[in-house]
Structure 1
Amino acid sequence: MMSFKLLVAALPALAIACTGPPINDNGLNLIKSFESFQPSVYDDGFGNPTIGYGHLCGDASCSEVANQPLTEESASQLLASDLVSYQDGLTNALADPVTLNDNQYAALVSWTYNIGNGNMGNSDLVSRMNAGEDVVTVAHDELPQWNKANGEVVDGLTRRRSEELNLFDAPASFGALPVAC
């Protein structure tokens, strides 16, 4: 009987996270337009070695990425691989009742890719959507606030948030969230 109680207590820790769907081409194109293709390692402007379409390197030479300089095809594959953790992060941060179409989801994955899973998970945007507020209202209230780096407004981030909202508002035929786990 004791082992059964231990198993029941451990069940929340054994829960399997949901896998987020891949973003649509609209989202990929948006991310690529702001990240821009860089075949060789460069400084992202904040001291982070970066390559491809915004891939943050593990070290100064980006040793985890083979065959440098990258081709656009290999950079696109690296981006798709990188996006998995952001797609999964967003999918698992949003509660089941939150319903997004594929353009809304793609816009929020772009935002998450830019700000990181930690910032996304702790954001008012996620809290408000999970509280049942209208997702369109929340997106329009919250996304524009994420336009700063080191406390200063950055024109490129302001433009990115505007394009993410344009994508969020674009008509879509397919649902993205919630997903069945």
Structure 2
Amino acid sequence: MSKAEQLAAKAALPVSGGAVVWPFTVAEAAQYATLLNQVVIPSIGVLIALVTLLIKLRVWWRGSRWSRFAKEESGRIRARWWVGGSAAAVIALGLPMTAKWEGLENHAYWDAHGQVWTVCYGETAGVQRGDSYSDVECLSMLQERWGGFHSDMIACVPQLAEAPAEVQAAVTSWSYNVGIGAACKSTLTKHLRRSEWREACNQLPRWRRAGGQVLRGLVNRRADEQRLCLSGL
């Protein structure tokens, strides 16, 4: 045996299940098998089970009626805007209210007040006579447009992002009806810029006219939006 081999032999110390060869520990094959069977394989099994569960939950969620109000999660609504109220809360509060007051029309109709062809939940952009959409298409259109109005209101009034979810929902529903241009120039918006949520909510009933006339439907809609707005204060 060479001198180097003699030094290596002296450095090798016997241990249970293997040997320590400076500076490494060399385990026996049985130890690797035990580690594989008792730790690695069960861990992989748990990971696969969790992934499968998450996939099933995602499929269930996308098929549930609640997913309609939490798609951030959809359209142009951006998570960075949601500070005062969560995305799901604002959508769940505001989108159904807008849908209720706009009403669903699957076939394009002539809006005498707006002098424009309208379809679904008050959609007017690019609508032409004879256009027709399914309920699912109309809901998708509403989600996209509603999210766009919320984003536009935040761009117009950054302070709105700090408001309670109820205020954001009511203001977005109102702007969806009156238009961003009119909303951004309003006294209501001035109150929002000063974070005067209650004063802003109390401006809603003033928006009850169309074509220069007070309409009972708008009176009722503004009262509903005001109740929602104030409920968050």
Q: TM-score, normalised by structure 1?
A: 0.73
Please point out which of 5, 10, 33 is paired with 2:100: 33
**In structure 1, what is the Cα distance between the partners aligned to 2:95 and 2:148?**
15
Partner of 1:134: 196
Letter in 2 for 1:139: C
1:100-139 equivalent positions in 2, closer than 5 A: 100-130=163-193, 132=194, 134-139=196-201
Q: Is the 8 A contact 1:24 1:103 kept in 2?
A: no
Other-structure match for 1:83? 146
Aligned-partner SS, 1:58: coil
Matched, 1:69 2:137: no
| 1:160 and 2:202 matched | no
Alignment-derived partner of residue 24 in structure 2: none
Q: 1:78, CA displacement in angstroms?
A: 0.5
- 1:148 aligned to 2:215? no
Counterpart CA distance in 2 for 1:81 and 1:170 is 26
- Counterpart of 2:159 in 1: which secondary structure? coil
Indicate how the Cα distance of structure 1 residues 127 and 60 shifts in structure 2: closer, same or farther if over 3 A, else same: same
Instruction: Tell me, yes or no, if structure 1 residue 49 matches structure 2 residue 112.
Output: no
Tell me the distance in 1 between the aligned counterparts of 2:164 and 2:229: 9
**Whole-Å separation in 2 of the counterparts to 1:129 and 1:155:** 26
Q: How many residues align?
A: 148
- Aligned residues: percent identity? 22
Q: What is residue 230 of structure 2 aligned with on the other side?
A: 169
Greater shift, 38-47 or 91-100, is seen at 91-100
- Alpha-carbon deviation of 1:171? 4.1
More helix by share: 2
Structure 2 residues not aligned, in runs of 5+: 1-76
* Aligned equivalents of 1:153, 1:30: Cα separation in 2: 21
TM-score, normalised via structure 2 length: 0.58
Counterpart of 2:128 in structure 1 is: 60
Is the contact between residue 108 and residue 127 of structure 2 (CA under 8 Å) also seen in structure 1?
Answer: no
Taking the aligned partners of 1:78 and 1:134, their CA distance within structure 2 comes to 32
RMSD: 2.3
Q: Distance in 2 between matches of 1:153 and 1:97?
A: 28
Change (3 A) 1:93 1:30: same
Pick closer, same or farther for the CA change 1:70–1:87 going to 2, 3 Å. same
Describe the shift of the 1:129–1:39 C-alpha distance in structure 2 as closer, same or farther (beyond 3 A): same
* CA distance in structure 1 between the partners assigned to 2:160 and 2:102 by the alignment: 32
Shift of 1:123: 0.6
Gap regions ≥5 residues in structure 1: 1-17, 63-67, 173-181
Cα displacement (A) at 1:35:
0.8
